[in-house]
Chains A and B, each alone.
Chain A
């Protein structure tokens, strides 16, 4: 893996951290996506605080700052002092509709009710006073900057990730905690539960060029939903993993389509996260090409947290190179996620050449106040700059990485990623 010195890297790829300073309790930016207008939308989440709420924000390129667009509990009429689990985050659930300029957002759960220390979706499932009302679906018009409508996507459950088939006008979601696959038709605003997948959510749903819908189950098998046959199919193959692992928990974390649309690059959500290039049109269940472990070698006898041993933020730039961020840590004795999420680590931006598969470290993501080893999602805006969502010390925010080959041509942010 080639790398430049830090001083050289940052001269080429200038990075800047944008903090959600208006929301000092914001603890996670799970969703960060390119909107249908080519601007960057981010979820200002508060998943840990009692009564936490999520706001939707957008990067303002004119003021080089953050615009806070709307407060989700308010627009979906689910007040944070209801006594229920609150509308606290949007978790990999922004999807754009290029045709009408709508950004769809689906909410997720985890923040406790305002008067409790903790929320367990299992414990409170039958508790009418405490149970999460359900994942709210919001249609936000990015042309007029208004919320057009809201609906309940999944009663009592959160939405872990969302994808959009803009030809069929169907949203696909995975529910939490029950891990059911949900199909929502925008034509008639009806929702269908296709059934349970397992116990561990895939963190991403992606679509192939034929409209097949892909995600994963607990055991590292890809699951494919065929919308014409209305059936879930399981790949017999297990996604690549380390020899000491079994494939369990090798669920998908992030996925991005190559610019030519022929393949998908994806990362697993497990310790020793793996980069995989997936060819959906090959063989009966596609072909997963193992591009290897992303993070460093470690003591495999220690149950590392995936908050430490992590990679995410897959995004292609106009130069055809793949960018993403992995964590690098320094102290093996402190890797079990200490209080305050303060560990000795850093987020390293990696560039992968899809032709040669050469990997190059290009910069370190540096916050002025903390380390930033955990990156959720990456997205490219209409100016050709790349953004990364961050989870870490409060208040969190996102990074902008100014690209050397910025391209302001209209449509340079296309094709849009159609999943969160």
Chain B
């Protein structure tokens, strides 16, 4: 008896193992296979959905770009700055900075308790 026989076969009447799968094992494999497919399908349905297409969410800010500058830098020159409240205690300043052509070029945010 080799290792492969031990892994895949079952004992026959003479006590030796064979490579022939029994109907019970075949049925069990099919059942487990179907259960696996159903599980994968359920997981894909639940976790595979796309999230809303926001550029970037930081704190409670929904920014155009990933933040790359400080809020102080962002607020120099032309900018759009807004405050959002996450709850009664936490606030975030959200800033979008414009260049001289009027295009938004970077974002920043900072949050604080208060």
Say whether A associates with B: no
Give the A-binding residues of B (Cβ under 8 A).
Answer: none
